[in-house]
Amino acid sequence: MSKILIVDDKHKNLKLLEALLEPEGYEVITALDGLKALKIVTEEKIDLILLDVMMPVLNGFEVTRRLKALEKTKFIPIVLITALKESENRIKGIEVGCDDFLSKPVDSAELIVRVRSLLKVKAYHDHMRNYEKELESKIVERTNKIQEQKEELEKLYNDLENAYMDSIRTFTTIIEFKSSYIGNHSKRVTKLVKYIAEQVCKDEREKKYIEIAALLHDVGKVLLEDTLLDKSNKGESLSKTDKIKYEQHVILGQSIVRRVKVEEAIGLMVRHHHENWDGTGYPDKIKQEAIPLGARIIAICDAYDTFINNTLSVKESTSEEVIEFLKKGAGSCFDPQILKAFIQYIYTTKTLEQDKKEIGIKFSELRIGMILSRDLIVASGKLLLSKDQEISKGLKEKIDKHQQTDPILEDIFIYRSSYLN
């Protein structure tokens, strides 16, 4: 049975929330002030805290800050209950570490849904923490047998890596509960970002960080007011005040990412994915290489997906129109070199989608620029090149050299469109 702590300096509020939660099968403990709440948390195994903001002695913000600073209690979900609606108060709540908000008067249906959702997340975190401890214990136990246990250790490491990525994907699924647009948009952007990162980034760990940042780049939007989020998703013009609030989503996103136990570099990519190459973006107006590489990649893919999926225009945009729009931003909004790689990818992908017909040619007809439609197999049965590779000068030299010792005996199949170019 999940144990919930309710903290409020008014008896009637405690009784109301208790009456709503106990019929759902939860064990409820109450406290009339923040100090008593802190004492209870050290004595009891609490699964979730409903915490009033405006209390004497210790307000909800301070109680949250203290609990989130302790290793033992920092993963307990905290919901701040408040009549305050100003965005700065919500930002303050996020900064001290709260996990969600409820507005007074509390809606009973919303209360139950949010409690259930956060308890599921808490259970998942507890499971993952226990799982990680078990893996760490096994790794320590087996490090003295590295040679004979090498394969097992590699498997454990992969399990841990997969568990880490699963937790990130679970988090993005939770994001979709707030807005399916944000979740779907982030997945499409991530698909583009992964390809471009492969072209412009050499470090494998950084590539992984960039992928995670792409998945979470708009996570801060889940904390925007619903009306503001709807305006943004529909491409409606924002007032000056709304624009300032909207631009806070990158800062909120970084704050959230910090609490998902990921690298600081990922949070910086989330924060800076709306910076411009010439320093006119937000929130910090940094420019050029001062902008993290991942943020520069995300900026281009984000803009492309936004326009190609018709979220900011009443008129459907073609790939050519969006590419022309992006070209105008080269050197001002976007990193010119990354944009060049991105456009090449879009044109290549579009060409292949439009014309997948293939033709067989002889080795002597193979030219630079052609694209393989099938794997290239040599006489020994060895795979020389995989399908969909474009023949560059370097690859052509490699094939010519290989032809002397292990020749290609059959036709080479390429896409007709690359033959005609």
Residue 141 lies in a domain: no
How many domains, in total, are found in the chain?
3
Q: What is the spatial distance between Cα 165 and Cα 243, in angstroms, rounded to a whole number?
A: 33
- pLDDT at site 132: 80
Q: Are residues 263 and 310 in the same domain?
A: yes
Q: Are residues 202 and 321 in the same domain?
A: yes
The per-residue pLDDT for range 104-156, each reduced to its tens digit, is 888 999 999 999 999 988 888 888 888 888 888 777 777 766 666 667 656 76
Residue 136 lies in a domain: no
| Cβ neighbours for 136, distance < 8 A, ≥ 6 positions apart | none
Q: Are residues 302 and 389 in the same domain?
A: no
Residue 364 lies in a domain: yes
Q: Are residues 328 and 189 in the same domain?
A: yes
Q: Please list the alpha-helical segments (H only) found in 53-203.
A: 60-69, 87-96, 108-142, 150-178, 180-200
The per-residue pLDDT for range 228-245, each reduced to its tens digit, is 877 776 667 888 888 898
Q: Are residues 292 and 336 in the same domain?
A: yes
Residue 399 lies in a domain: yes
CATH label of the domain that carries residue 369: 3.90.105
Q: What is the spatial distance between Cα 403 and Cα 399, in angstroms, rounded to a whole number?
A: 6
Q: Are residues 184 and 282 in the same domain?
A: yes
Q: Are residues 308 and 184 in the same domain?
A: yes
Structure token pair of residue 287: 């420019």
Q: Are residues 250 and 333 in the same domain?
A: yes
Checking if the pLDDT of 352 tops 50, the result is no
Task: Answer with the one of 106, 126, 142 that is the final residue of a domain.
Answer: 106
Q: Are residues 366 and 318 in the same domain?
A: no
Phi/psi at 202 (5° precision) = -95, -25
Q: Are residues 335 and 374 in the same domain?
A: no
Structure token pair of residue 382: 């060895």
pTM over 0.95: no
Checking if the pLDDT of 196 tops 60, the result is yes
Domain span including residue 263: 180-350
Other C-beta atoms lying within 10 Å of the C-beta of residue 12:
8
Calculate what percentage of the chain has a pLDDT beyond 70: 84
Task: Answer with the one of 88, 106, 124 that is the final residue of a domain.
Answer: 106
CATH label of the domain that carries residue 224: 1.10.3210.10
The per-residue pLDDT for range 21-44, each reduced to its tens digit, is 999 999 999 999 999 999 999 999
The per-residue pLDDT for range 261-313, each reduced to its tens digit, is 668 899 999 999 999 999 999 999 999 999 999 999 999 999 988 887 755 54
pLDDT band at 355, cuts 50/70/90? Answer: very low
Task: Answer with the one of 350, 377, 392 that is the final residue of a domain.
Answer: 350
- pLDDT at site 138: 77
The per-residue pLDDT for range 52-107, each reduced to its tens digit, is 988 888 999 999 999 999 988 988 999 998 876 667 778 888 899 999 988 888 89
Q: Whose CA is closest to 152, among 164, 163, 134, 138?
A: 138
Q: CA angle 244-264-233, nearest 5°?
A: 35
